[in-house]
């Protein structure tokens, strides 16, 4: 027998260790247990699924050992996330096993909000809610049922809406990151949808404050676009380095740190800067003249029906947005404005990206239109590397709804949260709260169901919501955690976590291609199969319990069955593919670009099986030649000077004209409150309800290097002037209230601003929510709450 | 694939059954006399391309590795035998690369290699989208605009073409033109308008122009299923094309050999060729009392795929040229032909040579061993261009036929069952 040096060393070490054990006595090695005959190695499995923790809906791959989820990684087959995953997705493991998680339904046992609960079975909870809803319907007031639902695009939203329709209530209220971009698209293009951005193929991405790498629709989309597997350091011919990226922002954010160029700007002046850039583009003849001639109205002056000359976009911009004036308002130098415009022309296709940071402000609608005008001027609509209106996945519709007389009568009643804003849906959650909290009458809502909604934390008007909740006779929460709003519920029917339930997961609106991700159970429900129930399954069971046309409208026994039936639409669509490797994605896309589609499966069951195994379905083709994707206005042309908006302004009779209020910041500091509050979402804690996992608390934002406690950021210059230093506790005070935070002296903060992350809380529950300090201003045309018009002062705590 | 003799025997039986089926379906008896033009299953080839790791170095249409060439580009316009030759020529560099990377040399059965080559051959069939700007020019210069409108621009003598915006591939446009060809051409002649002809990608360009300019609202792109050459062969018979062009498109005294026109072309290009001759064809058919064939659905694409595959499996190599090649390429330095002792196997008794694909498979699988021997003995690696591989195979087949007691492997003759 021969023995290698390595083998010798190993056996010598093992003998030494064994001798030490014998000498010490009583110590049991796990290795010795492994040698026992009854010991069996654990079973390990990796299963693809979809993350549901934010709207991005990235592909995930769960590693399960002996029935325990031990790791969540990215699914490389997912076309948008391509194997990447953000810290929040990775930390889902800690959410699943969090000690504060609710694993069984709870019914209030004592006064509301007192914190006394009694555990019941899921069936018991469904029965309890079913009785309540049956009684409400029998009383002839089905419309008194309201649902406040967070972001749940896909079949969950469809099931909720169908349930409400069949039940007879028009009060499905979506509280789902309404950023107002749909209003801009509606006014300019006649297409009331949030746009998608083909970041990956853009030559230049000009972001107007959009937190692409933080709490955007899909940070992973941005990561892939700017540095994903398709890009390299120049190794191969088919690889590229990604688009040039310019971040215009009021703070030196994490996103700004990743950009090629950061342009600091005065808050509330994004629109002015956009029109300043438009000025240079027009003046220097850098616009897409052909595109404008063929597809755009309102660029040149025109005469109206009465023969009066109307000012077109070109004249308006050339007259009012000279570079020097724009520079004075925005704080961006003239040279930089000119350079940005030339950069757009040099790096075609250049796409301007914007969202709530532009629109959630006084004058935000004009600012949004101004930014979008850049995409129009560059002809970068429905083009590769441009702004697109994406398709939805062609899933099979739900069965046709059956409506009985009570349902029809209930649906005819005016919705509680009907908007009064001239454009868009406004802030329906606030409308609901105001209607319910109103003095002197009966609450129009008898039963309120809260699904992924925590208005006491997320609303800018928590006091209204607090009152509203106290007015509703029966409040139900589906939160898997005892969050601020769930504490005021009468019944909590906690949803299972995404790793325990079936759900579909369409890619967010920002992604140009339809992706139908599928989330499937990776592990059994935490408390056992009998203890919890996914909300989708609970709704289907509730429909059956109510019976009649409600049951007929949702005749599915489970979400799994419902999703499988919907997938038949994908199978029959004659397009797209089950998620596959980069090569398969490329091949499928290129075949479709050539007009051919590759059938992969001879029958549905094998298609469904592979779809579940691989994590979903996608179609990576987008029709860039379809003129209907440019505009669906009556003229079929894009309106740079939207007719409906001009009419509305004329009807106002206040003499306001289009784009005028982009000209200056709408609010100014006073002596009592000298600093502007800039709330922002932290990527890992975007919704404000997930400050639960240690991994996330440890690194909510790597950039300012502050962890575990709520903080605010102040520039070194301002801190010095105020006599404050890094790390001191301060009160952040506005006219509406105050909260305590640790001061972070941060060079990335502008001297006149206080940057305040949203979504943080103290371990003992003390609130630190900057949204609760906001003044009650709103964008007058859309009613979207204004986030950037509040001024505060800091005091040492 | 089952590599055992019994497996091969069962495939042989299956081939016979398929042949019988084709005959019973009315494909002319001549089909039984020559190998089917489409050896290999491109779908299976696509799977092999992924599974055997080809994509780590090679790409198709730019998707895949970048170390080796894009096979959809370098493989364009080559028959199966030429592709096999190309694979072979590339062997030394590939051996060095895979060894450097510690990757195992991929080996293939004859059927697998047929599938892989079929895939590389097949993808070339699909056109890239045309250029709408050029399409606008062709539409004007070929005077289509004098009869047809798109997006409201053009005359209304013929139907508006906006509806074709639902398609990306130009085949439906080509099929529409074909079906209305005689009537359209009669009108053109009567109006003194020259019948337009199409070359290169002009038809694809016009299709792109229609898509960009069409005023069709609520359009929904309709993708076509990949054309099936086996179905195309049936249609070629059923539409009576065989009466003039023969069962495999090799021509008769009435119609030309279609092979010459199809090999380097893609769908739209072949469609253009068909259109260019359709007026002459319809006149000739009229003279013979035949009705002009019309196509439904995407039948024309299937026929075009059949025509495309006509030259895939070239037969009829030149044994004499092959013998010369055997000498000139230095094969004799390692292989004997008559039982003499040699470094490599005696190819007159090899199981591989009966088909050119069998030869290619054997050469590929033994590539590393051959390469090592050649390197040691400082023998230059022989390259095969154009039809040299076919001629060499023919020569070795002759040798094998003359040699006693050898067991032949039946050629792969099955039509592609599934498509990628």
Q: Kindly determine whether residue B126 and residue A587, on different chains, have CB atoms separated by under 8 Å.
A: no
Tell me the average pLDDT of chain B: 80
To the nearest 10°, report the CA torsion of A497, A498, A502, A503.
120
Contact A163, A526 (CB under 8 A): no
Segment among A1-10, A107-116, A399-408, B29-38 with least mean pLDDT? B29-38
Q: Kindly determine whether residue B60 and residue A587, on different chains, have CB atoms separated by under 8 Å.
A: yes
**What are the chain B neighbours of A596 within 8 Å (beta carbons)?**
126, 169, 223-226
Question: What's the confidence (pLDDT) of residue B20?
Answer: 29
Q: Output the pTM of the full model.
A: 0.88
Burial class (CB in 10 A: 0-12, 13-18, 19+), A790: buried
- In chain A, what percentage of residues exceed pLDDT 70? 90
Distance between CA B106 and CA A462 in Å, rounded? Answer: 66
**Structure token pair of residue A410:** 């209930």
More confident residue, A74 or A783: A74
Task: Compute CA distances A782 → A358, A415, A419, A643, A773, whole Å.
Answer: 13, 18, 9, 16, 21
Chain A residue with minimal CA distance to B217? A628
Chain A residue with minimal CA distance to B64? A583
Question: What's the confidence (pLDDT) of residue A685?
Answer: 60
Domain borders along chain B are 6-123, 132-309, 319-402
Whether residue B79 has a cis bond before it, omega within 30° of 0 = no
User: Using 50, 70 and 90 to split pLDDT, how confident is the model at B185?
Assistant: confident
Q: Report how far apart the first and last C-alpha atoms of chain A are (Å, whole number).
A: 76
Question: What's the confidence (pLDDT) of residue A750?
Answer: 95
Q: Is A623 near chain B, with CB under 8 Å?
A: yes
Residues, chain B: 420
Q: Is A574 near chain B, with CB under 8 Å?
A: yes
Residue with tokens 């190993």: A10
What is the mean predicted confidence (pLDDT) over A66-87? 96
Cβ–Cβ contacts within 10 Å for residue A203, how many? 18
Question: What's the confidence (pLDDT) of residue A35?
Answer: 60
- Which of A734, A670, A789, A678 minimizes the C-alpha distance to A362? A789
Tell me the average pLDDT of chain A: 90
Res A507 pLDDT > 90: yes
More confident residue, A481 or B417: A481
> How far is the alpha carbon of B336 from chain A, nearest alpha carbon, in Å?
43
Question: What's the confidence (pLDDT) of residue A455?
Answer: 94
Q: Kindly determine whether residue B50 and residue A583, on different chains, have CB atoms separated by under 8 Å.
A: yes
The strand pairing partners of A755, in sequence order, are A678, A713
- In chain A, what percentage of residues exceed pLDDT 90? 76
Q: Please determine whether the domains at B6-123 and B319-402 fall in the same fold group of CATH.
A: yes
What is the mean predicted confidence (pLDDT) over A735-751? 94
- In chain B, what percentage of residues exceed pLDDT 70? 82
Cβ–Cβ contacts within 10 Å for residue B289, how many? 6
CB pairs under 8 A between A and B: 85
Question: What's the confidence (pLDDT) of residue B16?
Answer: 32
Tell the CATH topology of B6-123.
Answer: Cytochrome Bc1 Complex; Chain D, domain 2 (1.10.760)
**What are the chain A neighbours of B215 within 8 Å (beta carbons)?**
627
Chain A residue with minimal CA distance to B420? A598
pLDDT tens for A338-383 read 999 999 999 999 999 999 999 999 889 999 999 999 999 999 999 9
pLDDT tens for A207-261 read 999 999 988 999 999 999 998 655 544 434 444 568 999 999 999 998 999 999 9
> How far is the alpha carbon of B202 from chain A, nearest alpha carbon, in Å?
15
Which one of A575, A587, A592 has the shortest CB-CB distance to B63?
A587
Residue A121's region, left for phi above 0, alpha for psi from -120 to 50, else beta, is beta
Q: Is A627 near chain B, with CB under 8 Å?
A: yes
Q: Is B55 near chain A, with CB under 8 Å?
A: yes
* Phi, psi at A387, each rounded to 5°: -95, 130
* DSSP assignment string, B269-304: HHHHHHHHHHHHHHHHHHHHTPPPP---TTHHHHHH
User: Using 50, 70 and 90 to split pLDDT, how confident is the model at B339?
Assistant: low
pLDDT tens for B288-321 read 888 899 999 989 999 988 888 877 776 677 888 9
Q: Kindly determine whether residue B226 and residue A623, on different chains, have CB atoms separated by under 8 Å.
A: no
Q: Kindly determine whether residue A599 and residue B225, on different chains, have CB atoms separated by under 8 Å.
A: yes
Q: Is A591 near chain B, with CB under 8 Å?
A: yes
pLDDT tens for B108-117 read 998 898 889 8
Q: Is A581 near chain B, with CB under 8 Å?
A: yes
Res A15 pLDDT > 60: no
**What are the chain B neighbours of A614 within 8 Å (beta carbons)?**
none
pLDDT tens for A1-12 read 444 444 444 444
What is the mean predicted confidence (pLDDT) over B150-166? 94
Question: What's the confidence (pLDDT) of residue B271?
Answer: 87
Chain B residue with minimal CA distance to A625? B212
pLDDT tens for A120-146 read 999 999 999 999 999 999 999 999 999
Q: Per residue, what are the HEC states of A319-373?
A: HHCCHHHHHHHHCCCHHHHHHHHHHHHHCCCEEEECCHHHHCCCCHHHHHHHHHH
**Structure token pair of residue A139:** 């009383």
- Which of B376, B383, B372, B388 minimizes the C-alpha distance to B105? B372
User: Using 50, 70 and 90 to split pLDDT, how confident is the model at A34?
Assistant: low
Which one of B66, B129, B420 has the shortest CB-CB distance to A594?
B129
Please give the CATH architecture assigned to the domain spanning B319-402: Orthogonal Bundle (1.10)
> How far is the alpha carbon of A632 from chain B, nearest alpha carbon, in Å?
10
Question: What's the confidence (pLDDT) of residue A692?
Answer: 65
Question: What's the confidence (pLDDT) of residue A240?
Answer: 55
Q: Kindly determine whether residue B50 and residue A623, on different chains, have CB atoms separated by under 8 Å.
A: no
Q: Which residue of A575, A593, A595, A614 is the best one to mutate when testing the B interface, meaning the one whose CB has the most B CBs within 10 A?
A: A595
Question: Strand A577-578's sheet: what is its strand order?
Answer: A503-506, A515-519, A616-618, A577-578
Q: Is B125 near chain A, with CB under 8 Å?
A: no
Distance between CA A676 and CA A750 in Å, rounded? Answer: 10
> How far is the alpha carbon of B132 from chain A, nearest alpha carbon, in Å?
10
Contact B168, B130 (CB under 8 A): no
**Structure token pair of residue B344:** 């490599």
Q: Kindly determine whether residue B223 and residue A599, on different chains, have CB atoms separated by under 8 Å.
A: no
**Reported ipTM:** 0.85
User: Using 50, 70 and 90 to split pLDDT, how confident is the model at B402?
Assistant: low
């Amino acid at each position: 027998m021969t023995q290698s040096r390595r083998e010798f060393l190993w056996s010598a070490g093992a003998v030494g260790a064994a001798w030490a054990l014998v000498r010490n006595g009583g110590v049991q090695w796990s290795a010795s247990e492994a040698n026992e005959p009854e010991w069996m190695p654990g079973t390990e499995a990796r299963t693809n699924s979809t993350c549901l923790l934010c709207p991005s809906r990235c592909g995930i791959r769960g590693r399960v050992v002996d029935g325990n989820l031990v790791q969540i990684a990215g699914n490389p087959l997912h076309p948008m996330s391509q194997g990447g995953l953000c810290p929040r997705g990775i930390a889902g493991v800690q959410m699943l096993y969090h000690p504060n998680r609710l694993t069984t339904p709870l019914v209030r046992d004592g006064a509301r909000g007192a914190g006394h609960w009694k555990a019941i079975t899921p069936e018991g909870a469904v029965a309890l809610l079913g009785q309540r809803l049956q009684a409400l319907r029998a009383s002839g007031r089905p419309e008194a049922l309201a649902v406040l639902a967070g972001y749940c695009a896909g079949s969950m939203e469809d099931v909720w809406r169908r349930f409400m329709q069949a039940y007879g209530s028009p009060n499905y209220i979506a509280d789902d990151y309404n950023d107002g971009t749909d209003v801009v698209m509606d006014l300019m293009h006649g297409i009331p949808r949030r746009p998608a951005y083909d970041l990956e193929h853009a030559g230049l991405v000009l972001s107007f404050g959009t937190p692409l790498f933080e709490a955007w629709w899909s940070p992973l989309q941005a990561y892939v676009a700017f540095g994903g597997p398709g890009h390299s350091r120049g190794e191969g011919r088919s690889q590229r380095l990604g688009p040039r990226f310019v971040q215009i922002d009021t703070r030196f954010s994490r996103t700004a740190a990743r950009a090629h160029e950061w342009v600091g700007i005065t808050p509330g002046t994004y629109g002015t800067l956009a029109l300043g850039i438009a000025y240079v583009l027009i003046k220097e003849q850098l616009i897409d003249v052909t595109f404008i001639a063929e597809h755009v109205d309102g660029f040149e002056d025109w005469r109206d029906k009465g023969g009066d000359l109307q000012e077109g976009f070109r004249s308006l911009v050339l007259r009012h947005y000279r570079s020097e004036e724009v520079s004075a308002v925005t704080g961006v130098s003239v040279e930089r404005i000119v350079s940005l415009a030339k950069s757009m022309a040099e790096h075609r296709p250049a796409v301007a990206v914007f969202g709530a940071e532009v629109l959630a402000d006084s004058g935000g609608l004009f600012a949004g239109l101004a930014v979008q005008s850049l995409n129009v001027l560059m002809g970068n609509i429905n083009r590769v590397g441009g702004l697109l209106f994406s398709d939805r996945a062609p899933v099979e519709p739900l069965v046709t709804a059956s409506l009985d007389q009570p349902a029809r009568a209930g649906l005819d009643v005016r919705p509680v949260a009907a908007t009064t804003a001239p454009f868009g849906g406004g802030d329906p959650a606030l409308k609901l709260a105001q209607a319910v909290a109103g003095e002197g009458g009966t609450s129009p809502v008898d039963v309120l169901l809260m699904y992924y909604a925590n208005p006491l934390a997320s609303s800018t008007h928590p006091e209204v919501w607090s009152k509203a909740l106290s007015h509703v006779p029966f409040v139900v929460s589906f939160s898997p955690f005892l969050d601020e709003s769930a504490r005021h519920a009468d019944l909590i029917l906690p949803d299972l976590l995404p790793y325990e339930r079936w759900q579909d997961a369409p890619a967010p609106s920002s992604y140009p291609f339809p992706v139908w991700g599928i989330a499937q159970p990776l592990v059994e429900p935490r408390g056992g199969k009998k203890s919890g129930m996914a909300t989708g399954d609970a709704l289907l069971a509730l429909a059956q319990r109510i019976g009649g046309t409600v049951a007929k409208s949702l005749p599915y026994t489970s979400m799994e069955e419902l999703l499988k039936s919907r997938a038949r639409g994908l199978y029959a669509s004659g397009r797209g593919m089950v998620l596959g490797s980069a090569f398969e994605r490329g091949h499928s896309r290129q075949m479709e670009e050539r007009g051919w589609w590759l059938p992969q499966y001879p029958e549905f069951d094998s298609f469904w099986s592979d779809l579940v195994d691989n994590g979903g379905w996608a179609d990576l083709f987008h029709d860039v030649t379809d003129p209907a994707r440019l505009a669906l206005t009556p003229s079929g042309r894009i309106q740079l000077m939207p007719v409906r908006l001009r009419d509305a302004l004329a009807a106002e009779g206040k003499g306001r004209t289009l784009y005028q209020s982009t000209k200056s910041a709408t609010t100014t500091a006073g002596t009592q409150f000298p600093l502007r509050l800039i709330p922002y979402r932290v990527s890992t804690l975007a919704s404000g309800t997930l400050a639960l996992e240690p991994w996330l608390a440890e690194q909510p934002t790597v950039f300012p290097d502050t962890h575990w406690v709520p903080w605010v950021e102040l520039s070194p210059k301002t801190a010095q002037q105020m006599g404050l230093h890094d790390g001191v506790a301060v009160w952040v005070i506005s006219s509406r209230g105050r909260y305590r935070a640790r001061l972070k002296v941060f060079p990335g903060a502008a001297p006149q601003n206080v940057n305040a992350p949203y979504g943080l809380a103290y371990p003992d529950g003390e609130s630190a929510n900057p949204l609760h300090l906001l003044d009650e201003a709103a964008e007058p045309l859309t009613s979207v709450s204004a986030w950037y018009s509040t001024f505060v002062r800091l005091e040492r705590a | 694939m089952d590599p055992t003799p019994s497996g091969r025997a069962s495939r042989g039986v299956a081939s016979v059954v398929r042949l019988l089926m084709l005959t019973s379906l009315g494909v002319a008896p001549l089909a039984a006399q020559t190998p089917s033009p489409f050896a290999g299953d491109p779908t299976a080839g696509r799977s092999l391309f992924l599974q055997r790791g080809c994509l780590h170095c090679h790409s198709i249409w730019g998707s895949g590795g970048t170390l080796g060439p894009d096979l959809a580009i370098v493989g364009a316009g080559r028959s199966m035998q030429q592709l096999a030759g190309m694979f072979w020529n590339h062997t030394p560099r590939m051996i060095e690369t895979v060894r450097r990377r510690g990757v195992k040399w991929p080996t293939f059965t004859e059927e697998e290699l047929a599938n892989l080559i079929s895939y590389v051959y097949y993808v070339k069939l699909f056109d890239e989208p045309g250029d709408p700007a050029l399409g606008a020019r062709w539409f004007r210069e070929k005077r289509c605009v004098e009869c047809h409108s798109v997006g409201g621009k053009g005359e209304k003598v013929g139907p508006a073409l906006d509806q074709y915006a639902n398609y990306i591939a130009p085949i439906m446009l080509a099929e529409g033109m074909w079906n209305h060809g005689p009537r359209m051409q009669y009108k053109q002649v009567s109006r003194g308008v020259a019948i337009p002809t199409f070359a290169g990608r002009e038809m694809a360009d016009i299709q792109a122009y229609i898509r960009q300019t069409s005023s069709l609202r609520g359009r929904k792109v309709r993708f076509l299923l990949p054309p099936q050459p086996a179905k195309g062969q049936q249609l070629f018979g059923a539409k009576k094309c065989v009466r003039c062009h023969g069962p495999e498109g090799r021509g008769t005294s009435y119609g030309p050999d279609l092979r010459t026109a199809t090999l380097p072309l893609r769908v739209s290009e072949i469609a253009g060729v068909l259109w260019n001759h359709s007026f002459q064809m319809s006149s000739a058919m009229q003279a013979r009392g035949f009705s002009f064939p019309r196509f439904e659905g995407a039948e024309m694409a299937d026929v075009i795929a059949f025509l495309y595959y006509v030259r895939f499996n070239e037969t009829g190599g030149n044994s004499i040229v092959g013998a010369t090649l055997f000498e000139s390429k230095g094969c004799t330095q390692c292989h004997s032909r008559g039982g003499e002792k040699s470094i490599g196997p005696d190819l007159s008794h090899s199981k591989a040579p009966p088909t050119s694909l069998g030869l290619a498979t054997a050469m590929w699988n033994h590539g590393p061993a051959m390469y090592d021997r050649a390197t040691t003995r400082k023998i230059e690696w022989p390259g095969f261009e154009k039809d040299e591989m076919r001629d060499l195979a023919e020569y070795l087949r002759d040798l094998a036929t003359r040699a006693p007691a050898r067991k032949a492997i039946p050629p792969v003759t099955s039509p592609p069952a599934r498509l990628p």
